[in-house]
Amino acid sequence: MKKFLLTFVLAVSLFFRSIADEGMWLPMLLGQQVYADMVKKGLKLTKDQLYNINKASLKDAIIIFGGGCTGEIVSAEGLIFTNHHCGYNAIAAASTVSNNYLQDGFYAKNKGEEIPTNITVQFLLRIDDVTKEVMDGLKGLTGADRVKKQGEVLAAINKRMSDVDQNIEVRVNSLFKGNQFLAFVYQRYTDVRLVGTPPESIGKFGGDTDNWEWPRHTGDFSVFRVYSSKDGKPAKFTETNIPLKPKWYLPVSLKPLKDGDFSMIWGYPGGTNRYESSFGIKLATDINNPTLVKLRDVRLKYMFEEMKKDPAVKLQLASSVASIANYWKFYDGETKQLLKYDILGQKQQYEQKFKAWAKGKPEYENIFTDWEKTYAAWRPYAKHRQYINEGINGSPLIAFAGSLLQLEAALVKPGTPMTDVKKLAEAADKQRTAFLAEENKVSDQQVVAAITKMFYEDIEKNQQPIGFYGTLKNAYGPLDDDATYKKYAADLFSKTMIFDDNKWKAFIANPDGVALQSDPAFAHASAFFTNYISKYNPYFQQFNTSNAEFGRLYIKGIMEMDPVKAKMMYPDATSTMRVSYGAVKSYRPRDAVFYDYVTTSKGLLEKYKAGDYEFDLPANQIELLKKKDFGQYMDPTRKDLVIGFITTNDITGGNSGSPVINGKGELIGLAFDGNYEALSHKLAFDKDLNRTICVDIRYVLWCIDKLGGGSNIIKELKLVK
């Protein structure tokens, strides 16, 4: 009976918000029913305090941090809190082997010690509904014509509403698969400085072992500051800039958390596809996800082996490995959850209801017949695309060599102006410098050997680059032998001009098409990329266009089928500002297992392993924790330092660094992860098992103050006890 009820509720919630804490809501379109539910569950703020374009509101404290995270303003002097993994690249860039902020941590004792970065942040100014203008421009259009025209219309609106002089950028987003269009107006600030970070052993405690898992004891935070010109406007870095005076900043709560406490999370969730068809679910579980996991597993294996041997290599590859590993585990978990709860069957059940309603309605009745044909036409090539993106392009060397295809095209095209060739050559030279700084040849060579063999074994022979494997066999040996591919990769790496400064400089000084085509690394990249781009990418473009069109019509039909319930539909995440609400809450992931809603220093010490790559801790932290030197950050109910907590909030990638806020608008933690039992959340929300994993703000402050000596940072904050 329990399984039947869970399946029924999940099926209903595939398209309409249930009583669960599901939904990533646009703050300007909360609606009275949703807002009333938030108040019922513990929200104390008014609608105007949440979102207002005419006066300061909570939304003014929430920022896009860098290229794919969220941050929040926490002081009257532009102080930013976000996740450690969001600031990771900036921290790594500021680090050296002798002055290693990743390893040792860093807290500026004053503003003069803050470190400039290449990070930018964006503040949302307002959201405008431009649906009518867009739809008027798309009347009568479908398929590829509609896609092309939509791009032109959106670009025109973006250009018209943006203001380069004021750093104001507009991005029109398509919601509900092209049934609504909103213009998000942002202001970008470019002077962002590193203020503080814990040691990596704290910020990444638990590593890949604990990734997507609860209980968790990770201090995933970092601290930055945004600066402006003296008149408060965006400005490039200069010593005369001043800390930004924000419109709104979040007070910080030191109060203990209780099971069931209201929580809301604001941020910029990157992407969900909750309205995906059953065909999309099947393609994900059968081909896309397993192939991605398999290919990333190989890359991680060889990179991790080299990182363990040398601290310099660990620093060099740390950011790349963290990025690859994160979604390796995610897509593995997503597949398992989709299969476990039969999301495919639930989607099909709902689609049968839609098909029955659509009979006799010309706009909708043939959607699923035609949609199925679209997937059937693309499915034979789906694995090939994953191999190109995650396998061939997964080698840094081959990815760089592939970037030279544009230069080659210019070199072999008759009449190409030399000025154009020089520009492309100069750009390639700069890209090579950046590539070499991050390249680890030993692991990359092993990746190329392994992936080249896997491509031969896994991809249909009639889809493979013509002549490539025959030539490889003649020169290096049997195609079923690992040694063949190792010899091939060794030759490729030793003979490419990309690693030879003299040969490369000679080529850049006098770019030549034949010389480039003769380079083994370029020849390898060209064989695979050209084969895919010329033969199979057109199929993918056709698939994408048709899939988008059917998806748009399906959502439109759903809204017509049940207009009352449609009012409670929330749009998929699109890297635009959203708010979700729920509660701090424990859970039972499986029979006889109970997970508390918080973790403490007791559990942190239990996990600690001296010298371990993932579970080591700084010696002074061990000492302070054993002495229970928690200061004002101790949880009075537990007589311990709370490290992390979980909530029922609905989030996804892009919410990293998002503030977790109580009913009074006070910061209680930073969201940084989801739980393994609910990794289907991009495609289907699980009302019982979904949890957001957060670092408790009291642990953040303890690390800054007691462990890091950053009392000057603490003094900036508005602490609420």
Q: Are 569 and 176 in contact (CB under 8 A)?
A: yes
SS (H, E, C) 292-360: HHHHHHHHHHHHHHHHCCCHHHHHHHHHHHHHHHHHHHHHHHHHHHHHHCCHHHHHHHHHHHHHHHHCC
Point out the catalytic residue in the list 21, 191, 210, 220.
Answer: 220
CA distance 562 to 285: 30
CB burial readout 526-554, b (16+ within 10 A) else e? bbbbebbeeebeebbeebebbbbbbbbbb
- Please give the C-alpha separations between residue 156 and each of 137, 151, 176, 183, in angstroms, as whole numbers: 11, 9, 21, 12
Selected catalytic residue, list 253, 656, 658, 680 = 656
Positions of E strands within 51-167: 62-65, 69-73, 79-82, 106-107, 115-116, 121-129
C-alpha 141/C-alpha 271 separation (Å) is 26
Phi, psi for residue 265 in degrees, rounded to 5 = -125, 125
CB-based contact 560:572 (threshold 8 Å): no
Q: Contact 219/603 with Cβ under 8 angstroms?
A: no
586 part of the active site: no
Q: At what angle do helices 311-340 and 343-358 cross, to 10 degrees?
A: 50
* Residue from 568, 395, 429 nearest 511 by CA: 429
Q: Which residue has the tokens 């660094």?
A: 657
Cα angle at 323 between 184 and 458, to 5 degrees? Answer: 110
DSSP 288: I
- How many residues in total does the chain contain? 721
CA distances, 500 to each of 394, 395, 398, 436, 579 (Å): 22, 18, 15, 11, 52
Say which DSSP state 232 is in. Answer: S
Would you state the torsion angle of the CA atoms of residues 89, 271, 8, 689, taken in this order, to the nearest 10 degrees?
10
SS3 600: strand
Beta-bridge partners for 163: 168
Which is nearest to 158 in space by CA: 119, 186, 125?
186
Please report, in angstroms and rounded to a whole number, the separation of the first and last CA atoms in the chain: 45
- 85 in catalytic set: yes
Q: Find out whether the peptide bond into 215 is cis, omega within 30 degrees of 0.
A: yes
Catalytic option among 85, 217, 384, 524: 85
Q: How far apart are CA 238 and CA 347, in angstroms?
A: 55
Q: Which of these, 191, 188, 252, 198, lies nearest to 223 by C-alpha position?
A: 198
What is d(CA 667, CA 513) in angstroms, rounded to the nearest whole number?
A: 58
Tokens representing residue 364 in the block: 């909708």
Contact 365, 358 (CB under 8 A): yes
SS3 171: strand
- Given a contact cutoff of 8 angstroms between Cβ atoms, the answer to whether 218 and 75 are in contact is no
- List the one residue out of 485, 484, 515 whose CA is nearest residue 500: 515
What whole-number distance in Å separates Cα of residue 211 and Cα of residue 502?
A: 44
And the tokens for 386? 């994953």
CA–CA dist 24, 21 (Å, integer): 10
**SS3 (DSSP) at 639:** coil
Active site residue 562: no
SS3 for 256? Answer: coil
Residue matched to tokens 């544009």: 406
Residues identified as active-site = 85, 220, 656
